[in-house]
Amino acid sequence: MSTGSRLPAVTPLGPDSVAWQVVGDRRLLLGAGTALLLQVAHPVIGAGVHDHSDYVEDPWGRLDRTIDSLLCQVFGGREAIVEAERLREMHKAIKGVDHHGERYHALNPEAYWWVHGSTFWTTVRMQDVFVHPLSRMEKRRFYAEWRQLGLLLGLREHHMPADLEGFETYFDDVVANRLEDNHTVRELLGSITMRDTPPPPWWFLPEPLWRPVRPAGGNVLTRCAIGLLPPALRDRLSLKWTDEDERRLQRLGAVVRAVGNRVPARLRLYPRAYRA
Q: What's the chain's average pLDDT?
A: 91
Enumerate residues 6+ apart whose C-beta is below 8 A from 11: 148
Question: What is the rounded CA–CA span in Å between residue 17 and residue 175?
Answer: 28
Say if CB 45 and CB 111 are below 8 A apart. Answer: yes
Say if CB 3 and CB 154 are below 8 A apart. Answer: yes
pLDDT of res. 55: 66
- With a cut of 70, say whether residue 78 has pLDDT above it: yes
Domain borders along the chain are: 18-275
pLDDT of res. 75: 97
pLDDT in tens, 245-260: 999 999 999 999 999 9
pLDDT of res. 3: 44
Question: Taking residues 154-177, what's their average pLDDT?
Answer: 97
- With a cut of 90, say whether residue 216 has pLDDT above it: no
pLDDT of res. 1: 40
- With a cut of 50, say whether residue 35 has pLDDT above it: yes
Question: Taking residues 14-28, what's their average pLDDT?
Answer: 95
- With a cut of 90, say whether residue 9 has pLDDT above it: no
Helix axes 43-52, 109-130, angle to 10 degrees: 90
Question: What is the rounded CA–CA span in Å between residue 70 and residue 119?
Answer: 10
Enumerate residues 6+ apart whose C-beta is below 8 A from 228: 31, 34, 122, 125, 126, 129, 249
pLDDT of res. 44: 94
Q: What end-to-end distance do the CA atoms of the chain give, in Å? A: 36
pLDDT of res. 4: 45
SS3 25: strand
Nearest to 6 by CA among 104, 99, 76, 107: 107
pLDDT in tens, 187-206: 999 988 888 888 877 777 68
